[in-house]
Structure 1
């Protein structure tokens, strides 16, 4: 029986028809789509239903990307929109990055990426009132992801905000096929931890800036704030595109968070694949790769760049308002009364409680690891940033 595969010409044609885009497509974009389709096909076989589901997801992502290009021509002001003094939350997952992003996004002058921005980005928010259907589509798409992987509600509880949940910048890069974020591509049943920035990180960040302009144009927002975890891979490229950026690097002892890092990946990709994957060997290899990357970063001059604010996790959770004030002081901004009140209300709202869906038991033995080994592996990192592990974490 002939294997069923994704057909690139079908995807390109269907995406063009969905977007109403019949001009020449950027050759590099088309090549990235082709490479991704080939990568998927090589990991088959697939059933006809799986191929159809994947095709629809990829088709819509590409159509959204074509809409962005068309909007940039339709609204010339987008390309002229300044992106001044953006704030990026960077650092390892589970180090308080999501909490910090949520608090920074409470500023009424801030523009932060939301789930509907990656799922239904056109027309740009500044073009006029956003119709209810766009929000409904994004809500439905987020819910389909939660239905497939309900563990997200415990592991990443802000997913229940639907279309209005804050997203990571890696979702925006997925629109340009520079990475494959699982919440947007959960219908690919062989997806794994595949963060590939094809074409170089500098090109990815330049595309990112175009999306930021798209989302900020004509909105009256003062600055951009987002969570851009992979940016720490190449901060030089980030600062080249955003020379006046401020990166808030959240730090926490890796021995406190590495088990939860693995658990999140396991719950996510096991749900997508529909079977348990081998996380024992991956967990050890990934830890060693992270340690090597950390060593390179600590030996780099950029680690002491004044555009990076190093923030210990326990400082953030111990004094959230004080942390925001310190960040804004670095920027030379005032924390308005309205912003302060919004942060207070957000922190007091039980709908934002991190344990409202329960607690997940993060431990090392299920992944064949020992906490002491992780602690020793990243001892240099903890020493460099004055981090002390809490044994009950």
Structure 2
């Protein structure tokens, strides 16, 4: 799946110079204290991302400094992770067993499922502070509240830059303890450019290249090992909106992975997806994007990727539990109970009680920052356009007019 970035200019031609990648390498080494030679793969990905950034916009002054600062922080974090792994060889010996992946498209209930699964006292999930300040490993030194609070301030800056975001995705108000998507983990290895780590970059995100998926999942495993080392044994529950496109690589990296894949009528999904995309990237690009033009191209691009994805033989793999969004909304706990029963996982009364408490807590209410009225018109979309684009997907999973 690829995302097309519009031609955006934040300044007049010639008033900014490109980001110097060699300077970035040098400064990140000083910041991290890690001066080992970068492996060729990582170096190449950093160079590719910087080249992509330089080709997207002409940046000058404060904006360029902000983007370069985020890139430097990201690279320094990656270098520290590598240094930790070299310094503590036992990290590489950690076994990641039967991780649960919540997969599927944005706005289909993936965050709800992920949040409930994370209430299992025998589970752990990646959090915002894990990707924003992962070194040293949490199993090496006590994690002080200040360390988590520091990362929470970074999320505060993202939310302040994107008014309206909490109305559509209120879960980010958990700050440093917010659950994250696996796309953030891929960004730590410069496999993509996810906006939660690079929200000052004035362009649409660069998406993970399917050709690099095996390498990306290799780093994903390393990152979970990093967080798990010297900690209480628990299974992982993770979430990503890209996994369904590369199921073969996912199961190659995690042969014992278990997946929950919710499905929702695309006519409901895409106005919501475009709205949150517009609020997020509109703010990042200072509202210089034409979302009426972007909407149809975005939908067609996703539809093509979906058509390819559902042709994969792994779609019917018994390790995947397919869930109808309408059933999820009616009784989300029943969905989790069904998944645990199918997979033979322990499902105890404490887990169910914690899920019920989470659902009843006003601090988790989906409308705690109000409700947003989703519509197609601002994004150049029509019902017919979406139904036509996703007809095969809807037939396959009994959605929309095929329900």
| Superposition TM-score, scaled by structure 1 size | 0.95
| Alignment equivalent of 2:295, drawn from 275, 283, 286 | 283
| Aligned match of 2:269 | 257
| Offset at residue 53 of structure 1 (A) | 0.8
Q: Per-residue deviation at 1:100?
A: 0.5
**Residue 92 of structure 1: aligned partner:** 105
Does the 8 A contact of 1:178 with 1:198 survive in 2?
A: no
**Within 5 Å, which residues of 2 pair with 1:34-73?**
34-73=47-86
For residues 180 and 274 of structure 1, do their structure 2 counterparts lie closer, same or farther at Cα, with a shift above 3 Å needed? same
Q: Is the 8 A contact 1:255 1:389 kept in 2?
A: no
Give 1:6 shift. Answer: 1.3
Q: Could you say what secondary structure the match of 1:294 adopts?
A: helix
- Aligned equivalents of 1:148 and 1:372: distance in 2? 34
SS at structure 1 position matched to 2:139: helix
- Aligned partners of 1:27 and 1:259: how far apart in 2? 41
Distance across 2 between alignment mates of 1:25 and 1:244: 31
- Cα-to-partner distance string for 1:213-257 (whole Å, 9 max, x where unaligned): 111122213211111211111100000010010111110111111
Contact 1:256 1:390 in 2 (8 A): no
Q: Secondary structure at the match of 1:186?
A: coil
Per-residue CA deviations over 1:298-354 (Å, capped at 9, x if unaligned) read: 222221111111011111121122111111112211212221111111100001111
Task: Tell me the CA shift for residue 2 of structure 1.
Answer: 6.2
Matched, 1:335 2:324: no
Q: 1:21 aligns with which of 34, 39, 58?
A: 34
Shift of residue 390 of structure 1? 12
Q: Deviations over 1:131-152 (max 9, x none)?
A: 2332122111100101101222
SS of structure 2 residue aligned to 1:310: strand
SS of 2:399's equivalent? coil
User: Do residues 346 (structure 1) and 358 (structure 2) align?
Assistant: yes
Q: Which residue of 2 aligns with 1:156?
A: 169
Q: Name the SS of the counterpart of 1:200 in structure 2.
A: helix
Deviation at 1:10, TM superposition (A): 1.9
Does the CA-based 8 Å contact 2:15-2:60 persist in structure 1?
A: no
Q: Aligned equivalents of 1:158 and 1:13: distance in 2?
A: 37
The answer to whether the Cα contact below 8 Å between 2:163 and 2:279 also exists between their aligned partners in 1 is no
> Does the 8 Å contact 2:15/2:58 carry over to 1?
no
Which residue of 1 is the match for residue 226 of structure 2?
Answer: 214
Distance (whole Å) between structure 2 residues aligned to residue 22 and residue 382 of structure 1: 52
- For the residues of structure 1 that align with 2:335 and 2:114, how far apart are their CA atoms? 12
SS at match of 2:103: strand
Work out the CA distance in 2 between the residues paired with 1:110 and 1:169.
Answer: 16
Any idea what SS the aligned residue of 2:208 has? coil
Write the distance in 1 (CA, Å) between the matches of 2:104 and 2:332: 17
Report how far residue 93 of structure 1 moved. Answer: 0.5
Matches of 2:210 and 2:380, distance apart in 1: 32
Partner of 1:104 in structure 2? Answer: 117
CA contact (8 A) 2:108 2:325 kept: yes
2:216 is matched with which residue: 174, 185, 204? 204
Give, in whole Å, the separation in 2 of the partners of 1:24 and 1:56.
21
Change (3 A) 1:175 1:226: same
Q: Say if 2:49 is the partner of 1:33.
A: no
CA distance in 2, matches of 1:219, 1:314: 37
State the shift of 1:388 in Å.
4.1
Tell me, in whole angstroms, the C-alpha distance in 1 between the residues paired with 2:400 and 2:65.
Answer: 50
Q: How many matched pairs? A: 390
- Aligned equivalents of 1:298 and 1:31: distance in 2? 32
Residue in 1 aligned with 2:143? 130
Distance 2:216 2:242 in 1: 11
Q: Summarize the alignment of residues 217-232 of structure 1 with structure 2, pairs less than 5 Å apart.
A: 217-232=229-244
> RMSD of aligned C-alpha atoms?
1.7
Structure 2 unaligned regions, length at least 5: 1-13
How far apart are residue 282 of structure 1 and its match?
2.0
For residues 36-60 of structure 1, give each alpha carbon's deviation from its aligned partner in whole angstroms, at most 9, with x where no partner exists.
Answer: 1111122232122112111111111
**Separation in 2 of the partners of 1:162 and 1:315?**
30
Given candidates 311, 334, 345, the residue that maps to 2:323 is: 311
Residue 192 of structure 2 corresponds to: 179
Residue 236 of structure 1: aligned partner: 248
CA–CA separation in structure 2 for the residues paired with 1:389 and 1:265: 26
Query: Is the 8 Å Cα contact of residues 32 and 198 (structure 1) preserved in structure 2?
Result: no
Matched, 1:118 2:131: yes
